[in-house]
Structure 1
Amino acid sequence: MKLAYIGTYPPRECGIGTFTQNLTQSMLGFDDQGIAENELLVVALNDGNQNYNYPKEVKLQIQQEQQTDYLEAANYINLSGADICILEHEFGIFGGLSGVYILPLLHRLEIPCIVTLHTILDAPSYSEKAILKEICKMADKVVVMSHKAISFLTEIYDVKQEKILLIEHGVPNIHFDRLPAKTEFKLTKKKVILTFGFIGRNKGIETVINALPEVIKTHPEVLYIVLGKTHPNVLRHEGEEYRTFLQLLIKNLNLQSHVLMLNEFIGEVELFKYLSACDIYITPYLNEAQITSGTLSYAMGAGCAVVSTPYWHAAELLTEDRGRLFDFNNSEQLAALLNELFDQPETLKQIQENAYEYGKNVTWPKIGKKYLHLCNSLLSFPKQVLEKKETVIDLLLLPPFSLTHIKRLTDDTGIIQHAKFGIPNLKEGYCLDDNARALLMVLMTYKQKKDEKALEFMPIYLSYIHYMQNTDGSFRNFLSFNRNFLDEVGSEDSFGRTIWALGYLIGNAPNDAYYQTGKLVFFDAMPNFEKLQSIRSIANTVIGICYYLKTNPSDEPVLDTLKSLTQKLLHQYAVSHSEDWKWFEHLLAYDNGMLPLALLHAAQILPDKQIVDVAMTTMEFLEEHTLKDGILSVIGNDKWYAKDGERSFFAQQPIDAMAMVLMFHQAFLLTGDKKYLTKLFDSFMWFLGENDLRMSLYDFETKGCCDGFENYGINRNQGAESSLAYLISHLTVLQAYEEFYKADASAVSEKIKDLQSV
């Protein structure tokens, strides 16, 4: 039997990775000659831009935030000859919001699939619940490691009980006698308390440290060992703040000789020596929401006396006198419990023996046999056939997402406005429009791909916007390369685009510093909102306000401003449209898709049927004149398209294609109708050659986007506007693809009903 596994894998330092490796090895199965009966291959998940020197069984790697890697992995597994696939699921190891990127992979698998769930939430977000339900629907069998997990799946996620199987968390078949282990670590004169695993604030280690002063009054020989590195995600975002806090607490309580913090990620053999050397093992987690704990299972397997807070797995596992429980954050209760156990060595010994007896039944060889039995039983039945959830969006047609050209255009002031071919044209300096678009793009990039490069660019673009703001809240637009202002007040278009980016920032800030700065600039600009005359500026401002209101829905003054600006757009439509010209002006000019887009955004906030009607009507009118037979032909800026006149086909520009992509994406979000995904993808393919000239505007060499095309062909200059328009469109396609796989069919029909009756 050939087995395919998907999960993290050593040498990546991750509990799921250790689990995956142990499971693969336990399922090899050996005959009398010691030859493996089964073949395995591993598809390993990489975090960030990390790469690892994997062992030979890892045949393919997935970069966590690279969506196309998941599709390629599905194709690889289907063609590998594997009989069955085993997925280790934990929300944090897969890319996209709540790990949604795993769904397209599972949809494409053509072999039976077993999913092992390492986290099941009792109060999931909408996305977490939708994604886990979809995973369980596609799985042929769902494996959990506790009885509590079964009740959660059946009651919260509507998974049929017959689809669920309980197989305990395995433990290595490694044993050391307590005295030799203590002797090796020179701990024979110590009463050792141990906690191991990745360190983070939810581990509650301070609860134990605060309990120690009371314990050492009676048992001065107590030593508390904290064994483990800071969790990589914590380290990436917070550094060693928590470890420093613990070290300061140890110093303040004068416990330096009673607490040993070992900042290491050690192998299993060494770990079991520490477990064997300890007298009491503690998991002092701060809340109950942990359905499975590998560290707890290991401690039981090593025959440790476990003391724990009553999180779900501990409350279930420590019954039958296999351990003791204490309340969350209760250092006094913990101190009394530790003193009681140290005072009663026979009781302590009995708990250790009970734990050891349990551990003998969950060693990895025994757990591996249970998984093999499950695999054989699944292969004896036909694979369940589910309706394929497919979308016209083909991510494998997209070039790899790259910020290379943006990096080339960006210096410490901002993003350079223009380029000669792919080279920054410093003579043209900077403008507000492009720095606002750049801020929007890197915010989208970081939100979707967690790209650290995007985070590095963010303060550059935001500080440019702040620098260009006047005291009355308006903005200058142009700045020369030597940092001289070139205007007093910029265009209304640049103002609106800036508010769009700031609104998005407030709703999607990566940290509080960006949030507070964005909010400050946004509200300093707000007195100018009602003064706007340009309908495109109004449209961009409406979009920014909507992004702000999504996270601040009770801000009545801003809500009133949204209503007022939306009415201006509706009024402009009322005075300009006719039976055969359903548009806001007497011509189709530039950035046309932004006008319906603004109303589609407003419709999410304001329950007004007129907004929906005008948004859909004008979107359909624009589509009628620009999108035919799957080919986008945006209105050219050469002569535009006046009512009763002829439309211009030349000087087509990327911002117009971007506006169409964004418009259809918002229509999909509003209605749930996947026909808009087809139109969105057709619009995006304009960049890659599905256009009037049948030539790609994306430059695969420079990773930039050409400025458009003229009657003579492609304009090969690759300025900021065009390259940012391409990247924002690319990110929108990725986001739409992700949202499609999260969408619930019943929710879609409800959305359409709501729109019709609003």
Structure 2
Amino acid sequence: MHIALLAPLPPEQNGIADYAGHLKLALQKLGVQISTPLAGIGNDPHEAERHVAQIHWQGIDLVHAELGGGRLAEFHALRALRQRFAHLPLTATVHDPERLVWRRASLPWPLSIAGKLPSPLPQVATVLSDPLCLHEERQVARGMTRLVTLTHAGSAALRERMGLAQAQMAVIPHGNLDIAPLPLPPLEPLRLLYFGFIYRGKGIEDLLDALADCISAQPALRERVRLTLAGGSEPEMAFGPSGSYLDELRERIGQLGLSGSIDWQLDLPAEHIAPTIQAHHVMVLPYRESSKLKLLGKLRGTSGALSWAVACGRGAITSDARSFAEEVAHGNGMIFPQGDVNALSQALSTLCANPELARTWADRAASLAKERVWSRTAERFRQLFELACEGDN
């Protein structure tokens, strides 16, 4: 089987590139031939369309794309492919359901004029143009052979919003690296970990406030619990109009009296990710859903960081944003209402009072990790591709 993969790939530094890279390698180990016809064009939708028009697609059995993360090149390539080849099997993993891409490459005239005007006029123009974007997304979605989501909640949301047939849908959970299990560290001090890109909107302030409240209510916890903030701090994400987000976090940590309770591990090399996660007891992901995206739909994706927790055999405390509730519904953690600092503080207090929970969650995560190793995940994709090529719609 010869598949064309449309996706960002390493060394690009984002979660979808990592996902696509692991999937590509795992499929190749199963004997699937993979081509990457859009390699090197970045996220340029017009260049993607030009490549589709110029490339000879003979010998390609199926085209698979990774959609999400604000990228548009793959979406435009799929649209151009369906226009050019009515019967070519097209599949995609949709990382940010209930939509495919959430935005157009450009606003239609006269709304395009607002793009150069002060805020909030560009945002208003985006909302006003959304019916056109949604129409284009539905056209592409309905022309796809299969659409894969990482969770059942994401699948249901995508199917309903795009108006799809059940036969077009498939759920394949996020694949995991096959990481050797490692026992939990001693339960005291309890080591909590935030892992992921560090930028505004991830709810990190909620986590700091909740930890401060927890310690304020039980001062003895100051010596018994530590929090590590680890992950990427790319300048374009960590800096913004209001200055350095990292500096803001450090200032907030000082104001909350947490300076002695926080560790930092920024920009971890890939080989240090698993050892860092396994040096902790529980991952905490306090994400909040974007208030801007709420105007356009419900984001029902999951998290690469959460898949790392599973792969490393560690439980998680997460907000109920996205599809996180489904991901920790296997006995591998607990959820709290997003943005509810008191509820997060109570969850942390519960864990501190019952540290054996970390061991229970870790055992369940380790079992889940065995089911989701990339070799098994790739086999599920291979079977899906075979059905798509057979025309089993």
Q: Which residue number in structure 2 is paired with residue 696 of structure 1? A: none
**Matched letter for residue 253 of structure 2:** I
- Whether the 8 Å CA contact 2:48–2:76 is kept in 1: the answer is no
- Give the deviation of 1:93 after TM superposition: 1.5
Q: Which residue number in structure 1 is paired with residue 94 of structure 2? A: 117
- Give the deviation of 1:127 after TM superposition: 4.0
**Matched letter for residue 192 of structure 1:** R
Q: Which residue number in structure 1 is paired with residue 6 of structure 2? A: 6
Q: Which residue number in structure 2 is paired with residue 193 of structure 1? A: 192
Residues 92-107 of structure 1: pairs in structure 2 closer than 5 A = 92-94=70-72, 103-107=79-83
Residues 406-445 of structure 1: pairs in structure 2 closer than 5 A = none
- Whether the 8 Å CA contact 2:207–2:344 is kept in 1: the answer is yes
> Could you state the TM-score of these two structures normalised by the residue count of structure 2?
0.81
Distance 1:380-1:100 versus aligned 2 partners, 3 A rule = closer
For 1:327 and 1:336, locate their aligned partners in 2 and report how far apart those are by CA, in whole Å. Answer: 11
For 1:235 and 1:361, locate their aligned partners in 2 and report how far apart those are by CA, in whole Å. Answer: 35
**Matched letter for residue 284 of structure 1:** P
1:343 paired with 2:353, answer yes
- Give the deviation of 1:363 after TM superposition: 1.1
Q: Which residue number in structure 1 is paired with residue 248 of structure 2? A: 245
- Whether the 8 Å CA contact 1:4–1:77 is kept in 2: the answer is no
User: Runs of 5+ in structure 2 lacking a partner?
Assistant: 103-129, 290-297
- Give the deviation of 1:70 after TM superposition: 2.9
Q: 1:257 aligns with which of 260, 279, 286?
A: 260
- Whether the 8 Å CA contact 1:9–1:17 is kept in 2: the answer is yes
Distance 1:6-1:209 versus aligned 2 partners, 3 A rule = same
Structure ranking higher in helix proportion: 1
- Give the deviation of 1:108 after TM superposition: 3.1
Determine helix, strand or coil for the equivalent of 2:162: coil
- Whether the 8 Å CA contact 2:16–2:69 is kept in 1: the answer is no
- Give the deviation of 1:23 after TM superposition: 0.5
Residues 509-520 of structure 1: pairs in structure 2 closer than 5 A = none
- Whether the 8 Å CA contact 1:78–1:111 is kept in 2: the answer is no
1:84 paired with 2:62, answer yes
- Give the deviation of 1:261 after TM superposition: 2.8
Q: Which residue number in structure 1 is paired with residue 158 of structure 2? A: 153
- Whether the 8 Å CA contact 2:282–2:315 is kept in 1: the answer is yes
Larger radius of gyration: 1
For 2:264 and 2:243, locate their aligned partners in 1 and report how far apart those are by CA, in whole Å. Answer: 13
Distance 1:16-1:163 versus aligned 2 partners, 3 A rule = same
- Give the deviation of 1:63 after TM superposition: 3.4
Partner deviation per Cα, 1:171-196 (whole Å, 9 max, x = no partner) = 111124135xx5xxxx9964211111
- Whether the 8 Å CA contact 1:342–1:348 is kept in 2: the answer is no
For 2:303 and 2:70, locate their aligned partners in 1 and report how far apart those are by CA, in whole Å. Answer: 16
For 2:137 and 2:247, locate their aligned partners in 1 and report how far apart those are by CA, in whole Å. Answer: 36
Please list every run of at least 4 consecutive aligned residues from structure 1 whose deviation after the TM superposition is greater than 6 angstroms.
none
- Whether the 8 Å CA contact 2:188–2:225 is kept in 1: the answer is no
Residues 520-531 of structure 1: pairs in structure 2 closer than 5 A = none
- Whether the 8 Å CA contact 1:197–1:228 is kept in 2: the answer is yes
Partner deviation per Cα, 1:49-79 (whole Å, 9 max, x = no partner) = xxxxxxxxxxx32232361343214542614
**Matched letter for residue 353 of structure 1:** D
For 1:313 and 1:74, locate their aligned partners in 2 and report how far apart those are by CA, in whole Å. Answer: 37
1:41 paired with 2:35, answer yes
1:292 paired with 2:289, answer no
Q: Which residue number in structure 2 is paired with residue 164 of structure 1? A: 169
Determine helix, strand or coil for the equivalent of 2:180: coil
Q: 1:280 aligns with which of 279, 282, 295?
A: 282
**Matched letter for residue 104 of structure 1:** A
- Give the deviation of 1:150 after TM superposition: 2.1
Determine helix, strand or coil for the equivalent of 2:36: strand
Partner deviation per Cα, 1:693-744 (whole Å, 9 max, x = no partner) = xxxxxxxxxxxxxxxxxxxxxxxxxxxxxxxxxxxxxxxxxxxxxxxxxxxx
- Whether the 8 Å CA contact 2:8–2:42 is kept in 1: the answer is no
Q: Which residue number in structure 1 is paired with residue 122 of structure 2? A: none
Q: Which residue number in structure 2 is paired with residue 139 of structure 1? A: 144
For 1:296 and 1:62, locate their aligned partners in 2 and report how far apart those are by CA, in whole Å. Answer: 30
- Whether the 8 Å CA contact 1:193–1:224 is kept in 2: the answer is yes
Structure ranking higher in strand proportion: 2
- Whether the 8 Å CA contact 1:230–1:240 is kept in 2: the answer is no
Distance 1:143-1:233 versus aligned 2 partners, 3 A rule = farther
Distance 1:122-1:135 versus aligned 2 partners, 3 A rule = closer
Distance 1:231-1:141 versus aligned 2 partners, 3 A rule = farther
For 2:237 and 2:374, locate their aligned partners in 1 and report how far apart those are by CA, in whole Å. Answer: 30
For 1:39 and 1:74, locate their aligned partners in 2 and report how far apart those are by CA, in whole Å. Answer: 22
Determine helix, strand or coil for the equivalent of 2:41: strand
- Whether the 8 Å CA contact 1:2–1:82 is kept in 2: the answer is yes
1:377 paired with 2:387, answer yes
Q: Which residue number in structure 1 is paired with residue 42 of structure 2? A: 63
Determine helix, strand or coil for the equivalent of 1:142: strand
**Matched letter for residue 4 of structure 1:** A
Aligned residues: percent identity? 20
**Matched letter for residue 145 of structure 2:** D
Distance 1:160-1:66 versus aligned 2 partners, 3 A rule = closer
Distance 1:64-1:218 versus aligned 2 partners, 3 A rule = same
Distance 1:152-1:84 versus aligned 2 partners, 3 A rule = same
For 1:176 and 1:66, locate their aligned partners in 2 and report how far apart those are by CA, in whole Å. Answer: 42
**Matched letter for residue 42 of structure 1:** T
For 2:248 and 2:56, locate their aligned partners in 1 and report how far apart those are by CA, in whole Å. Answer: 46
Q: 1:270 aligns with which of 267, 272, 284?
A: 272
Q: Which residue number in structure 2 is paired with residue 623 of structure 1? A: none
Q: CA RMSD in A?
A: 2.7
Distance 1:107-1:164 versus aligned 2 partners, 3 A rule = same
For 1:131 and 1:22, locate their aligned partners in 2 and report how far apart those are by CA, in whole Å. Answer: 30
User: Runs of 5+ in structure 1 lacking a partner?
Assistant: 31-36, 45-59, 385-758
**Matched letter for residue 175 of structure 2:** G
For 1:271 and 1:141, locate their aligned partners in 2 and report how far apart those are by CA, in whole Å. Answer: 33
For 2:373 and 2:133, locate their aligned partners in 1 and report how far apart those are by CA, in whole Å. Answer: 31
For 2:265 and 2:352, locate their aligned partners in 1 and report how far apart those are by CA, in whole Å. Answer: 24
Distance 1:265-1:8 versus aligned 2 partners, 3 A rule = farther
- Whether the 8 Å CA contact 1:197–1:295 is kept in 2: the answer is yes
For 2:324 and 2:390, locate their aligned partners in 1 and report how far apart those are by CA, in whole Å. Answer: 36
- Give the deviation of 1:42 after TM superposition: 2.0
Determine helix, strand or coil for the equivalent of 2:201: helix
Distance 1:104-1:240 versus aligned 2 partners, 3 A rule = farther
Number of residues of Structure 1 aligned to a counterpart in Structure 2? 352
Q: 1:328 aligns with which of 338, 349, 356?
A: 338
- Give the deviation of 1:223 after TM superposition: 1.8
- Give the deviation of 1:364 after TM superposition: 0.7
Distance 1:321-1:63 versus aligned 2 partners, 3 A rule = closer
- Give the deviation of 1:111 after TM superposition: 3.2
- Give the deviation of 1:342 after TM superposition: 2.2
Determine helix, strand or coil for the equivalent of 1:311: coil
Q: Which residue number in structure 1 is paired with residue 369 of structure 2? A: 359
For 2:191 and 2:53, locate their aligned partners in 1 and report how far apart those are by CA, in whole Å. Answer: 48
- Whether the 8 Å CA contact 1:150–1:161 is kept in 2: the answer is no
- Whether the 8 Å CA contact 2:181–2:313 is kept in 1: the answer is no
- Give the deviation of 1:327 after TM superposition: 1.9
- Whether the 8 Å CA contact 2:195–2:229 is kept in 1: the answer is yes
For 1:27 and 1:148, locate their aligned partners in 2 and report how far apart those are by CA, in whole Å. Answer: 26
**Matched letter for residue 64 of structure 1:** N
For 1:2 and 1:200, locate their aligned partners in 2 and report how far apart those are by CA, in whole Å. Answer: 39
Partner deviation per Cα, 1:449-470 (whole Å, 9 max, x = no partner) = xxxxxxxxxxxxxxxxxxxxxx
For 2:191 and 2:37, locate their aligned partners in 1 and report how far apart those are by CA, in whole Å. Answer: 39
Distance 1:378-1:100 versus aligned 2 partners, 3 A rule = closer
Q: Which residue number in structure 2 is paired with residue 28 of structure 1? A: 28
Q: Which residue number in structure 2 is paired with residue 462 of structure 1? A: none
